[in-house]
Structure 1
Amino acid sequence: MTRADPWDPADPDPLVLTAILDEDTQDLLDGWRRRWFPPERNQLAAHLTLFHALPPDVLGTLPEDLREVLPPEAPVGTLSGVRSLGRGVAVVVDVPGLDGLRSAVAHRYRDRLTRQDAHGFRAHVTVANFLPPARARALLEDLAAGFEPRPVRVPGVAVHRYRGGPWELVTEVRIGERPAGERAVSG
């Protein structure tokens, strides 16, 4: 079942869950986004969205739920190519384990997902959008011609609150980090 009713008016801003990218990859994709995204539409840093709209009332349990499903080590994969978004271009992200992480979160919230989040997942980072179709095709061809795969690491996930355009960072859950006050168990 997917969520069809509107958000609770008392807390209408959904949560966006993104994968955190290693610093070099983030810098590269941010630069591409600044270069090719129409400036008046570019309100966000480059991002790999895992969920577009989780219900805001799960915020109290979401960080712990994420800690339970995150792998023990940061997954490593590849920026493997580019693909068309029609009026935009995305960089394809192949990270073994990312689909499984997303599936685990989707399973926990399966009755609360929007239609968009309940559908399939293809990991990507949008570097251009809202372009005239001919410009988008030309950019795709240019990027594909010179594209070289490169490694990417995902050291955690970030939870944002959607604010009608810009996002507000709520928390990050890093792989291998324990919450404040939690002690390591030795043995």
Structure 2
Amino acid sequence: MPRASDTRQSIVDAVLRIIGQDGIAAVTNRRIAKEAGLSLGSVTYHFATQHELLRESLLHFVAEETRHFTELADACTDERFDIGQAAEAVAQVAGGNAFDSRHIAPFELYVQAGRDERLRAAAAECFAAYDLLATRILTQLGVPDPERLAGAAVALVFGQQLRRLATGAPAEELVDTLLILTRFSEAETP
């Protein structure tokens, strides 16, 4: 018999897949139960409300993203860090060439956090991890005032990701975005 934590995780994984495939509006208990291979009663037993489901899904996503981006940031401390390594880090952020439901779900969750202030703290935690990675990369590249520019770098990358999602633009444009930011920052240096 599966443990309660395994069942909850199966439900959360199903919610994230559904959000990525068809959006938050498609998240229903029946759909979750079918996607997770569980009974409808199991879904309602583990999550009493839709808000609880979305919050738990966002928190799970945030924990995974924070871990992943912190690991990437920790890898960006080599003294010989260069633009090539920065490009590799950005490519890892981009997640390869396929833009599947796993890449779409975060955008849906962040939009939902914008509508529901109870989810904003979790979203802010994830953006703090993005900012940390951006700060480390910018620092290693010698960009002046990296903490101040980190949020802009994250916004540029997110904008490029959204553009990629909407248009099918190639992942390489993310590297171009990083290069533009570093060149702009270097030009500002007196």
Q: State the TM-score, normalized to the length of structure 1.
A: 0.23
**Larger fraction in helix:** 2
Task: Specify the structure having the higher radius of gyration (Cα).
Answer: 2
Q: Which has the higher strand share?
A: 1
Q: Greater RCO between the two (CA within 8 Å, min separation 6)? A: 1
